[in-house]
Amino acid sequence: QQDNYRKGPGSLNKFDVDCIMGVSMISPSPAWTKCPLNMVNYYGLGRLSWNPDRSVDEIYTEWIKQTFGDDQEVVDTVKTILLISDDVTRKLYFYRGYRGVWIDKGDDGMVENKTPHVVNRKGIGPATPKLRMRMLTQYAPGLREVYGDPLRGEEHLSSFNFVGHDYRLSIGRTLIEDVYGNMDEAVALSEQMVELWKRLEGKIDGHRFQFTLAVLADYVDDARGDRDKMAASFEVHTGRKREDAVSRLTASKLASVHVYNVRHYGAKADGITNDAPAINKAIDACNAGGG
């Protein structure tokens, strides 16, 4: 369910009779979804059809226990991997969320040719003001107001607002820094997925463990290759070098604009490591910097 603001906040699009649809791409691999972990998507679709109030956490827990057993370390680790995989997709292929700009590494225009967005030397976003309004008017007035506001709708910024590459986001990055930074973060997260899976050796049968490990390793290679290809294409379309943008995302450069990334202070964000000390260090640095 989603709040559509049709009658103000709290207007959920939930009805007694509705329709739910899924798009599937079946692989000829032994897992038929290529990676065994992908099967959770089909389980989730069916589970939500039966009970739309079921949370993602509950669905993940159910599926993991039915698939890999109820060892708590297995449940927690696989769940973390699934959540991280969502972040990888958002950061690498869907700039600014699932309502954001769909990046197409095989398209000359850099964006899916079915969407009205453009990536050029001026910025990223709707190709024309007219197209922007057409997209916004698809939504109820409440959501239209949120999505049309660059600050309140920042999660989906470039989907509804054309902004320049030097536009500074609330997280302290400029738009182009965020694009390139997200690409590198996506690769790092995919690598983290592999390391987390390795911790489960001996807790999952050898065949599925090794098969999934190999698929996840391929996933990392794909992420690296896609990152490099898309970054090269972005450089051509935007005139902004990835190396220049990423060089401004160091701890010292970010601190100069009063931004403090907890990862620069040792945070792992893997769902297992205690990141409290790193977070406290970042808070102390922020306070010392006048934040």
User: Does the structure show a pLDDT above 70 at 201?
Assistant: yes
User: Would the pLDDT of 248 be above 70?
Assistant: yes
Give the residue among 168, 167, 170, 150 at the shortest CA–CA distance from 159: 150
> Which of 64-73, 141-150, 180-189, 280-289 has the weakest average pLDDT?
280-289
- DSSP reduced 3-state for 173: coil
Indicate the pLDDT class of residue 281, thresholds 50, 70 and 90. Answer: confident
- Helical pair 39-50 and 56-68, crossing angle rounded to 10 deg: 120
Q: Are 169 and 100 in contact (CB under 8 A)?
A: no
Q: What SS3 state is found at 100?
A: coil
- Over residues 12-34, the mean pLDDT reads 67
Q: pLDDT grade, residue 97 (50/70/90)?
A: low
Mean pLDDT, residues 99-104 taken together:
64
When mean pLDDT is compared over 109-113, 153-157, 213-217, 279-283, the highest value belongs to 213-217
168 bridge partner residues: 174
| Residue labelled with tokens 């309140």 | 152
DSSP H stretches of helix in the chain:
39-50, 56-68, 72-92, 129-136, 141-147, 157-160, 175-198, 206-238, 242-247, 251-255, 276-288
What confidence tens digit (pLDDT) does each residue in 208-220 have? 999 999 999 999 9
Helix (H/G/I), strand (E/B), else coil: 290: coil
Strands 123-126 and 117-119 come out as: antiparallel
The pairing of beta strand 101-102 with beta strand 117-119? unpaired
- Whole-angstrom distance, CA of residue 177 vs CA of residue 184: 11
Phi, psi (deg, nearest 5) at residue 97: 90, 175
**Domains along the sequence of the chain with CATH:** 22-70 (no CATH), 71-249 (3.90.1330.10)
Residue pair 36/212 in contact by the 8 Å Cβ criterion: yes
pLDDT band of residue 118 (cuts 50, 70, 90) is: confident
Residue-averaged pLDDT of the chain: 85
Q: Are 135 and 116 in contact (CB under 8 A)?
A: yes
Region 195-223 average pLDDT:
95
Instruction: Provide the pLDDT for residue 108.
Output: 62
Given a contact cutoff of 8 angstroms between Cβ atoms, the answer to whether 279 and 267 are in contact is yes
pTM here is: 0.83
Average pLDDT over every residue of 197-225 = 95
